[in-house]
Structure 1
Amino acid sequence: MLNSIIMQIPHGTPNPDNNNPVDFTNPFDLLVFLILPIVLVVFYIIWRRKRNNRK
């Protein structure tokens, strides 16, 4: 049963067996997974406040 499930995973796609934890010493990982989401949330909050104040 397990063998038939493993054969279903296409080659070249991420699967649970080859995932690595996020390495925050890598500048790209730090930017994409930490800094960018925080900046997007802050800009969204500012945008919503400005939009609500116009009405």
Structure 2
Amino acid sequence: MQIPKNQSNAPIDPSSPVELIVFIALPILLIVVYFVARKKRKNNN
């Protein structure tokens, strides 16, 4: 039986456009969409 070892996870590479989109732009976009949808729902009620 083998003992699990820690994985060596690399930090986010700011020169990679894919990582910037996935880890920075997408979460910000989701937060903005959430608040806009919440405001629209509140105004409709």
Give a deviation string over 1:16-37, Cα, whole Å, max 9, x none. 4321001111000000000000
The sequence identity of aligned pairs, in percent, is: 38
TM-score, normalised to structure 2's length? 0.84
| C-alpha distance in 2 between matches for 1:37 and 1:31 | 9
How far is 1:43 from its partner? 0.5
- Give the CA RMSD over aligned residues: 1.8
TM-score, normalised to structure 1's length? 0.70
2:28 equivalent to 1:49: no
Aligned pairs, number: 45
Relative contact order: is structure 1 or structure 2 higher (C-alpha 8 Å, sep ≥ 6)? 2
Aligned to 2:16: 26
Task: For residue 52 of structure 1, give the secondary structure of its aligned residue in structure 2.
Answer: helix
Find runs of 4+ consecutive structure 1 residues off by over 4 angstroms: none
Unaligned 5+ runs, structure 2: none
